[in-house]
Structure 1
Amino acid sequence: MAEQEEEVDYMSSEFLTQCVGKDDVRPGLLFSHSSKHKAQMEKRKRQKDTAHQQRFKSIKKVQEERLEEGLSTAISHDNKGFSMLQKMGYKPGTSLGKQSQGRLEPVAVEVKSDRMGLGWQQMITDHRKKLQERKRLKKQRQEVETDPEKFRQRLCNQRQEKFLLQDLMKSQRVCHQLDSKKDLTEPAESWFWPSYILKGTEEDAEEDDEEEKDEEDIEFEPEVKLNILTSYLRSTYFYCIWCGTVYEDERDLKQDCPGPTRADHDD
């Protein structure tokens, strides 16, 4: 027959310590003299602090109460400003003004209890608006990138813009060559020739273009410039930049050239 296990005393302090731990100092579970003394001292301290707070108010609390009392108290008759109003016919409880059209109560005072600057709220509001605008723009870019149709359209627009600038530069070079053969020293319009021809070197022209913009450059967009310049080349020299050919006359140009635009030559 096996030995009977030793019975556990469920009311002993050793068993309770194993259940709740040595650091638990709840009432009824204080086993050591030191833990009891510590709990008593903390309780007395809390009671003393509570009594001190009830008896003595903080400086901030006193200032708030005095301020509230001053704002809620009506102006006394001893006040010089109030005396002057009474001499001018003012009666307590009535509105200001000859026809009593003024305010009945004084303007309310809003006291700033913090130490922040007056404009910090507006700074926070402006910053939040900027963040919202950035999020909106970011969302739009994401929609364009995720939308296949919009993405293809954006690529198509970039490709057309690239071809447009290439055609314009080519037209300017051809216009300069053809005008030079006629011994012309100036173009019909300042932008008919490349800018580096008129301003010395190509590098100088690029620097000047960044610093200054002529009225014509602001007035005409690249697409408009191309249309005008190609029309000038076709009517003056019977030349088509997309065909790369100088035709004999206007009749020959109309018969053999597909049209006055790049799209006509892509078909």
Structure 2
Amino acid sequence: MAESEEEVDYMSADFLAQCVGADDVRPGLIASHSARRKADIDKRRKELDQKNKARFKPVKEVQKERLEEGLNTAISSSNKGFSMLQKMGYKPGTSLGKQGQGRLEPVSVDLKQDRVGLGWQQMIEEYKRKKEERKQRKKKDNCVNPEEFRARMRNQRNEKFLERDLMKSQRVCYDMDSKNEKTDPEETWFWPSFTQECDDAEEDCEEEEEWENEFEPQEQLQILTAYLRSTYVYCLWCGTVYDDERDLKLNCPGPTREDHDDD
């Protein structure tokens, strides 16, 4: 070691402060009298704060206790309302009403401790209830009877066929009527809606909508196919214009889709 270098005193207070920090006041590490005194003052202050907390309750807690005490305390005879009841014949401990059928105890008060509004909480409960209902309904649908499931799928398929056949029959009717130089359909719903325009007042449009909704889609299809068969000797499902009614009866399976499906 060179002579210019100073030897380090490992037992000095400066070296101890560098190792553990000046703010460390653990027992055995307090080197000076002032630091020891400061540590004692802080310790006594903490003990005093704990005693005061145990001795004096917070204002909110005191208010809550007094409110609950007031609600749980029976009304005394000095109360004006209570004295009026006594004058009318009320006796403490009995029910209200002529026959004694009323309440025995006052309606309890449900204290609300937080400052949160009630509206959004009710919405959450309502959404939870609806979610649970959807879950139960979905679970029930997954456990559906196989026969009911097949019937439902069959109905959906028939509805698609019905819609497709009705639109096709309307287009065919429009084409054939147009070739025969007809400017208007026999019935408003015989032609597709896009081929018709309301040039008159809105009342005419409303009247056409009423006519369109007069028959169910299945009934519309039956009427329209009967019109095509009788007027143009045409079968929608065969896609053929027959020579005459005799040819239609001999070679067409029938007037419905089911007749053609059987073949």
CA distance in 2, matches of 1:86, 1:181: 98
1:31-180 matches, cutoff 5 A:
32-33=29-30, 44=44, 46-132=46-132, 157=156, 164-179=162-177
SS in 2 for 1:33: coil
Identity over the aligned pairs, expressed in percent? Answer: 60
CA distance in structure 2 between the partners assigned to 1:30 and 1:132 by the alignment:
61
TM-score (normalizing by structure 2):
0.65
Cα offset for 1:53? 1.2
* Corresponding residue for residue 240 of structure 1: 235
CA shift, 1:139, in A, is: 7.5
Which position in structure 2 is the counterpart of 1:192?
A: 190
The one-letter amino acid paired with 1:104 is L
Q: Give the structure 2 partner of residue 250 of structure 1.
A: 245
- Aligned-pair Cα RMSD in Å: 4.2
Describe the shift of the 1:92–1:138 C-alpha distance in structure 2 as closer, same or farther (beyond 3 A): closer
Shift of 1:198: 2.5
Please give the alpha-carbon distance, in whole angstroms, between the structure 2 residues aligned to 1:180 and 1:254. Answer: 26
Q: How many residues in Structure 1 have an aligned counterpart in Structure 2?
A: 224
- Amino acid of the structure 1 residue aligned with 2:173: C
Which residue in the other structure is 2:7 paired with? none
Q: After alignment, is 65-74 or 175-184 more displaced?
A: 175-184
Cα distance per residue 1:100-152 (max 9 Å; x no partner) = 222221111111111122333311111223444565688899x7xxxxxx8xx
Q: Give how far 1:192 is off.
A: 1.1
Please give the residue correspondences for 1:218-237 in structure 2 after superposition, counting only pairs within 5 Å: 218=213, 220-237=215-232
| 1:72-110 alpha-carbon deviations (Å, 9 max, x no partner) | 111122211112112212222222222222222111111
Deviations 1:175-201 (A, max 9, x none): 234445666554343211122333169
Give the Å deviation of 1:265.
4.2
Structure 1 counterpart of 2:165, one-letter code: D
Please give the TM-score of this superposition, normalised by the length of structure 1. 0.64
Offset of residue 256 of structure 1: 0.9
Structure 2: gaps spanning 5 or more residues: 1-19, 143-148, 200-204
CA contact (8 A) 2:188 2:208 kept: no
> SS of the residue aligned with 1:32?
coil
Distance change (3 Å), C-alpha of 1:54 and 1:74:
same
